[in-house]
Amino acid sequence: MIFPRRYARLVFPVLMSVYMVSVMTGVITWVNTGIDGDFLARWGHAFCIAWPIAFLLILVGAPRLQQLAGHLLRH
């Protein structure tokens, strides 16, 4: 599925948050509780809690952080 350009402001935060939350909740769940028969259920629960928070943080923070990075890189 290809999205129109007008959705670019939402597509990036969705992709970035899914990527980051998947990796982070997976690693943290593994480290804290190990991998056993209930791992996927615990990982899924952690993902469902963390994803909306990460999405909103990226949606709000990414433009400002990109600006800050630009300022830090200028001469």
Q: Is 41 part of a structural domain of the chain?
A: yes
pTM value is 0.82
Q: Is 67 part of a structural domain of the chain?
A: no
- C-alpha distances in angstroms, 5 versus 9, 35, 37, 51? 9, 40, 42, 23
Domain count along the chain? 1
Q: Is 31 part of a structural domain of the chain?
A: yes
Q: Is 72 part of a structural domain of the chain?
A: no
Q: Is 75 part of a structural domain of the chain?
A: no
Q: Is 54 part of a structural domain of the chain?
A: no
In terms of residue numbers, what domain contains 33?
Answer: 11-46
CB 29 within 8 A of CB 43: yes
CB 57 within 8 A of CB 21: no
Per-residue pLDDT reduced to its tens digit, 11-70: 999 999 999 999 999 999 999 999 999 999 999 999 999 999 999 999 999 999 999 999
CB 27 within 8 A of CB 9: no
Q: Is 52 part of a structural domain of the chain?
A: no
